[in-house]
Every structure is written in C-alpha cells, then in structure tokens.
Amino acid sequence: MVYAVVNPATGETIREYPTITDAGIEEAITSAEAAYRGWSRSTTAGERAALVRRVGELHSERREELAKTIVREMGKPIEQALGEVDFCASIYGFYADNAAKLLADEPIELLAGEGTAVVRRSPVGVLLGIMPWNFPYYQVARFAGPNLLIGNTILLKHAPQCPESAAALQQIYLDAGFPAGAYVNIYATNEQIETVIADPRVQGVSLTGSERAGTSVAAIAGKHLKKVVLELGGSDPFILLSTNDLDSVVEQAVEARLDNTGQSCNAAKRFIVVEDLYEPFLEKFTAALTAVTPGDPTSSETPIGPLSSTAAADRLEEQLGRAVAQGATLVSNGGREGNFIAPAVLTNISPESDAYREEFFGPVASVYKAANETEAIRVANDTPFGLGSYVFTTDPEQALRVADKIDAGMVYVNLVLADGAELPFGGVKRSGFGRELGRFGADEFVNKKLIRIGLA
C-alpha cells in the first residue's frame, strides 16, 4: 500500500509518504491510550467543547489551503472543496454548541423502589476511524468531532490517496490544543489495521468505505468483540411521482447525481419515474445532464472534475460497457479522456443485469419507468443497498406514505443536497449500520452508564 498524492487531473505523482512501521503503530496506540487515561479523564465536556470549536475555526481560517489540497488529491472541483471545508466547520460548531445537551445525564423514572437513577454518558476509550477519499475532511469531522467531545481518543487511517489532507487534519487538532495522542494520524497498511482492531486498548471502529471493506472490518471487529459503525455504498433511488414544475425537478435531479462528480455514497443514482412523466423527464434530464462537461477542478467555473483516480475511471468505464453488453441502452455517452468521464444515462436495465444491482460511483444515471406508486416503491427497494432516497410529489400524504415504505436510512422529500450537521446520516441493509452526525452520531461510542442511588 502506497500513500501518495497523485493528481487525477494530470496523472502527476506529487509526493509519496512513508507507511508507518509496526513500532510506530504500537507507539500510536500507546499514545492514544495515555491521552484517554489522562487528558480525557481530567477534562470537562465544556473544556473539550472549546477544543472542538477551535478545530472548526481553524478549518475556516485555513479553508483555501485545505480546499486546494483535496483538489490535488482526488480532483474535487474547487468550489465544492471549499463547501466541504465550510460544512466541516459547521459540524464542529454544532457539537461544541450542543455539548451540554448531548452529554447531559438522563434521569429515569423508577417503577419501584426509592432513590434516583440516571444514565450518564461517558467515553469508552480509543477508537479507530477508517476513512475514504471522496470527502477527505467531512468524513473525519462527523466521526472525530463528536467522539473527541465525548472524551474518546482517535486513531485515524485515511485513504492512501489522501495523505496530505490527513497530515493537515492532524496538525489542525494539535494547533487547536488537543494533546498528543488525542488524535493520531496513521499511514497504516491493511495488515497493520487488523493488528490495531485486535488490540485490547482499542474499543471501537468506524469505517466509511466500500461494501468489501466493511465486510472485512466487521468480521475482524466481531472476532474481537469491538463495536463497529459502518457507512458503506448506496444506490439511492430518486422517485418522481408528480410535479408542477418538471424543469425544477430535473435541475435537482442533475444536482443530486453529479455532486462530487457523482462520487458520493448518498447521491441519487437510480431515477424511477411514473409512466406519464417518464418520456418528458428522460428527455429533459438527459439534455441537462449531458450539457455538464468535466473540466479543470482548480477553476471555480467547473461543475465536475476528473474521477478520483485512473482505477476509478477504469472501473466505471468497465461497468458501462458491461451494462450495455447485458442489454441496457446507453442514451448518452460523452466518452472518456484520461480520468475525465462525461455524464451518461442508462435505460432499459433489466433485473438480470449487473447494472440493476451495482453502484455506479461516477457521473452515470440509471432511469427506470414505473407504472404507479406501488411499482416505484418496489423498484426503489429492489436493491441490496439502503442508504438514502429521494421522493418528489405534490401530494403530502403520498410523500409520507412512500417515505414509510422505502427501505433506507434517510428519505428526502422534494429536495436534494440537504444534509446538515444536526441530521443523522446512515443506512440499512448492505449500506451499513449505525449513525453519524446530529445527536445520534454522538451516541454510538459511549458508555451509557446507569447510576442507581438508594436513600442513605
């Protein structure tokens, strides 16, 4: 495994970083354990909140530098990179603002006996975070922010193509005032990560990544009785049942598919449209989607950039070719140049096709026709994934009815790109389990300790 910054727009290898040694892994775990036993146990929630707030402030102060870093690492268009940094600042701010509320004792009304009972939330210890390349700062913020507030300490393994942003984050935590060991970046191999998970000083693991990575990490963690939070892939449905403004729906559909050049787990990927709207939607959607062209990610005018790597571009190109070979219709295809792939639309995907079940991680949209609401829900749920979903309708009762029947961790009605620091994020089925963000994200790796007191 090589940790290196390889600019996906140019193919240039900018810098390689050495992988941590086994002795370095031991030192990192020891340091994180010492910070937990010392710093965590000797600080108040308010003191930790002040440090978390400072992390958010430093994101804002260094936003230009941080944004340019991930443009180099994974090709995110600069305006979206700046937006990611800003979102991180808001996440840290949310947890700092709500520290007292999130960590307050929870009284329990006794059914029998005298005295009192409360649940007190306290840290569990050292946690391991395994993070992906598609949102190098945001993924870390939603894991590390609440857990450092709680008093857990963090070992963070970032994606091999994000070593520069990983180093920048560790520096931010140190500059914010966190002690050595509270947040430790490790350029570790997969074999070394197995050792970290198995170590008895490590109490839990949070992974955002592929289904394959999630399966592997969950198996190792289960063997060693470690709590796991998994946020894996998604093939989110975008269900169109009715509208008074098709142009607006199409605009939102394009935004929902092309955010981060289509490389987002919770992007809309399968567009399921009722029969009477199918043809007009397909025509307008195809025209709007293919009008978007990839460009230089350093330009503020660029809507989508390159895919994150040559391997990612090869994978998407192979998927498209296989989908067509298995009977799907490629309505549009702007082709590939280097790691830049123009948006494409697939139709006539049969349930027997690989494309019916796979996740397309890039600017490819699949469009399905549904006879009615019932069929739309059936197609939406006919997937191994269950991360997010989108429903567009003019009928409020239908919106809630359909939302109740969708097998997903999140349902957005008549809007897209509406994630928030206060809103829980996570999925069901093979999209993983557990939640991040909001109060639920601060309730995964905690000891919900019962304190029952009788009368003296």
SS3 content of the chain, % helix, strand, coil (to 5): 45, 20, 35
Distance CA 157, CA 205 (A): 11
Catalytic residue among 231, 358, 373, 444: 231
Closest CA to 357 of 330, 329, 331, 326: 326
Distance CA 123, CA 227 (A): 13
Distance CA 407, CA 37 (A): 41
CB 98 within 8 A of CB 149: no
- Beta-carbon count within 10 A of 325 CB: 10
Q: What's the token pair of residue 293?
A: 């062209």
CB 362 within 8 A of CB 263: yes
In the residue annotation, 231 being an active-site residue is answered as: yes
Catalytic residue among 164, 265, 358, 444: 265
User: Between the CA of residue 54 and those of 33, 62, 203, what are the distances in Å?
Assistant: 23, 12, 26
Count the residues in the chain.
Answer: 456
Closest CA to 349 of 365, 333, 363, 332: 365
What three-state secondary structure class fits 222? helix
Q: Is 396 exposed, middle or buried (0-12, 13-18, 19+ CB in 10 A)?
A: exposed
In the residue annotation, 162 being an active-site residue is answered as: no
| DSSP notation for 110-136 | -SSSSSEEEEEEEE--EEEEE--SSST
Please give the angle made by the CA atoms of 410, 412 and 414, to the nearest 5 degrees: 170
Torsion of CA 209, 213, 219, 223, to 10 degrees: -80
Distance CA 379, CA 392 (A): 15
Catalytic residue positions?
A: 231, 265
